[in-house]
Amino acid sequence: MNFDLDDQQRDLASAAGDFLASSTSLADVRAALDAAATDIAVRPGRDQLLSSGFATITLPEEVDGGGGTVLDLAVVAEQAGRVLAGPSLITYARAAVLLAGDTDRLRALAAGEMKVAVVDGDGPVLDALGAEQFLALRDGRIVIGGGTVDLPDPIDPTRGLGRVTLGDVEVVDGSGDGADAQARWDRALQIGRVILAAESLGAAARSVEIGVAYAKERQAFGRAIGSYQAVKHALVDAYVAVEELRSLVWWSAWAADNAPDELPMASASAKGVAAMASQLAAETLIQVHGGIGFTWEHDAHLYWRRAKVDRFLLGDDVAAFDEVARLAMAGAAS
Amino acid sequence: MDFDDTPEEASWRSTVRSIIADNREALGRRGAGRGYDDPAARDRQALLYDNGLVGVTWSKEAGGQGGTPMQQAIVDQELSRAEVPGLVNLIGIGMCGPTVIAHGSESQKERYLKRLLRADDLWCQLFSEPGSGSDLAALRTKAVRTDDGTWRISGQKVWTTLAHVSDYGILLTRTDPDVAKHRGLTMFVVDMKAPGVSVRSLRQMSGGSDFNEVFFDDVEISDDERLGDVGNGWGVALTTLMAERMSLGGGGTDIGVGVGAVADHVAARIADLPDDRAAVTRQQFGRAYAESLAIRYTGYRQLSAISRGEMPGPEASAGKLAGTRVARDLADLSVRLLDDDAVFARDSGGDSTWQDSQASLPGLAIAGGTNEVLRNVIGERVLGLPAEPRADKNVPFRETIAVATGGSESAAKGATV
């Protein structure tokens, strides 16, 4: 039994953390909130994520990708979540699966010549901001093409959320049709949920850290508020939720790489628990700060926004738990 | 990252499996009653011991196998997989034995340890009292040394699991009320059949009786039965509590309610529910199931640490906090699925499985350290939050009693210290 990150993955996390901390900040996030929807610049942005190599970890080496695993990408995504980085690694992870075998497009993706987003039904599109090509499942086929993007005011300005109307599309080379395409679409969605859960893990863990640091400093009634059980226990509950989520993120990422039979259950569990844990952590962060916690100036609401929006991306928590239940009752691999 | 056995682990696992297979009939199957009073339960444990599957991590001198924590975890997994009934002497093995190993004399080790592992003797842990549960060091049971060196014990313990069937117990007493509460304690091994020891079973809300009140009325204990130094009882008790964490911290087992059994129960009932109730049921079950998977894989992270030779830290308690909540959710859901039968102690088929599981759960949030105390431990030791101020810190125990009872001189004298 060796259910833990290895030294290489820890080094990767550390390098990604350094890069992201130097290329984005919560001040940038707040500035984006104050900007008009069309002027938002998410940080670190597509170009920097690509040049760092982090966005293309799961792309094959032949197309200038990193040839790495989903677990490697999840390790980086956790770091991205800590600083609310955008655009999301989810988009790159899904595109890598949907475009598999289409060497030209994969190479264009890795080179930054093709800026993509993935469209789920009629729902909000993650990273629609700045995207020029859209991947979708239409009539049982995986397609790609241009579209028109509408950018309403986003609750979370780091997600580049918009509504997309697809224009002319063509079928992605080698993506198959019917069952093949659906299976590929499903796998891409499941891996997207894994990376989403990893980002939530980072954001939630960071929320707990900020809350703990404040609870050690802030005095009330003559002592640090973190010494009061009411405050201490709230932070511990959030910490426990974060650690439970961490286990599901690692398992689901491992399953994506090693155990396809376990991926549906693992990714749905991770997605649902991520929605709960990140919301709990963000709301606890606000509560621990009292009145300051819900001011515009404090960072807490930036994490709260991320949690509130993430809950609804790639299917909400109700849908995820419904799927877990159906799989469990069917005696699925877990 | 992988979930595979190392070659050594795989080889040990196959050894364990073949031992279980060779003794399949004699080991019995889970579900045939609780078995504390059943001589067959002791026989089963002796059989497991004689085949090297009990006390795996204990040294050979202590009667064990000199194995690794991971080998013990594999034994636990395989016994569970084969549905072998649990060991009858769990508190003895998990907590009392490790305490004797750490603090006992050579003759105590010789006398007790092997018999404990074989379930020739059953053991209990006499710590909590009516006035000191979570605040363990506030206990009042007193031990006074007589002129000939023997000790006389008087006082009362409570919530003592298995005291009614135990042969021996480890007993934490107050030997000096004039120093701060943690410093005046001393630990003993007590013969539960000694004159002056009386045990009264407490009935739990579930109707069952696993724990007891134990009364000590001038019980004599020889100084040979002291565990550790006089006044170092708190240090000895910490060994016990660390061992408890270790024995509870092994990963990947269900707490309270088996999630697989609930899945079968939901699957059997859900087809008869109207769509709206079915949808809500799936959502609630899916959430609890996903959380139970989170707990399982968190347990695997701990097992991985154990496999590397590390000891579980205070964060191991996180599994209990999450587990008690999920167990409650699962039990609640299971009972609700009984529909009208839910309000009867037994359903129409005479089955009380789900009702019973529900009634055992409030106890889980209290036993083995209340969840509030565990949150304090995690908050202070893992998150580094400041400790709750303690009014009795560095105050002689006798004075803390005076405060608690109104501060009068007479109250202090009347206390059982």
Give residue-wise pLDDT tens across range A179-205.
Answer: 999 999 999 999 999 999 999 999 999
* Residue A274 contacts B, CB cutoff 8 Å: no
* Percent of chain A whose predicted confidence (pLDDT) is above 70: 99
In order along its 417 residues, chain B shows pLDDT tens digits of 988 889 999 999 999 999 999 999 999 887 655 567 788 899 999 999 999 999 999 999 999 999 988 898 899 889 988 989 888 998 999 999 999 999 999 999 999 999 999 999 999 999 999 989 889 999 999 999 999 999 999 999 999 999 999 999 999 999 999 999 999 999 999 999 999 999 999 998 888 888 999 999 999 999 999 999 999 999 999 999 888 876 654 444 456 677 888 999 999 999 999 999 999 999 999 999 999 999 999 989 988 888 888 877 888 889 889 999 999 999 999 999 998 889 988 888 888 888 888 888 888 898 888 999 999 999 999 999 999 888 888 899 999 877 666 544 444 443 444
Res B417: pLDDT: 41
Q: Give pLDDT, residue B248.
A: 55
Q: Which of A58, A71, A140 is nearest to A100 (CA)?
A: A58
Share of chain A above pLDDT 90, in %: 93
Least CB-CB distance to A272: which of B286, B298, B315? B286
- Choose the mutation target among B254, B285, B297, B382 for the interface with A, i.e. most A CBs under 10 Å: B297
Q: What is the mean pLDDT of residues A76-104?
A: 97
A213 touches chain B (CB under 8 A): no
Q: B244 with B95: CB under 8 angstroms?
A: yes
Which chain B residues have a beta carbon less than 8 Å from that of A2? 1-4, 304, 307
Q: What pLDDT score does B414 carry? A: 39
A216–B291: do the CB atoms touch at under 8 Å?
Answer: no
| Torsions phi, psi for A128 (to 5 deg) | -65, -35
| B305 contacts on A by Cβ (under 8 Å) | 4
Residue B306: what pLDDT? Answer: 82
Q: How far is A205 from chain B (nearest CA, A)?
A: 12
- For A219, nearest residue in chain B (alpha carbons): B386
Whether residue A194 lies within 8 A of chain B, CB to CB, comes out as: no
Q: What is the pTM of this model?
A: 0.93
Chain A residues with beta carbon closer than 8 angstroms to that of B307: 1-2
Instruction: Work out the average pLDDT over A308-334.
Output: 91
Across the interface, of A236, A247, A323, the residue whose CB is closest to B286 is A323
How far off is chain B from A207, nearest CA to CA, in Å? 13
Round the average pLDDT of chain A to a whole number and report it. 96
CB–CB contact A273 B301 (8 Å): no
Alpha-carbon distances, residue A64 vs A10, A61, A90 (angstroms): 23, 5, 19
Interface test with A, best of B6, B287, B310 (most A CBs within 10 A): B287
Please tell me the distance in Å from B110's CA to the nearest CA on chain A: 35
Q: Which chain A residue is nearest to residue B371, measuring alpha carbons?
A: A233
A233 in contact with B, Cβ within 8 Å: yes
How many Å apart are CA B253 and CA B320, to the nearest integer? 11
pLDDT at B409: 44
Across the range A212-240, mean pLDDT stands at 97
The confidence score (pLDDT) of residue B237 equals 96
Q: Please tell me the distance in Å from B289's CA to the nearest CA on chain A.
A: 7
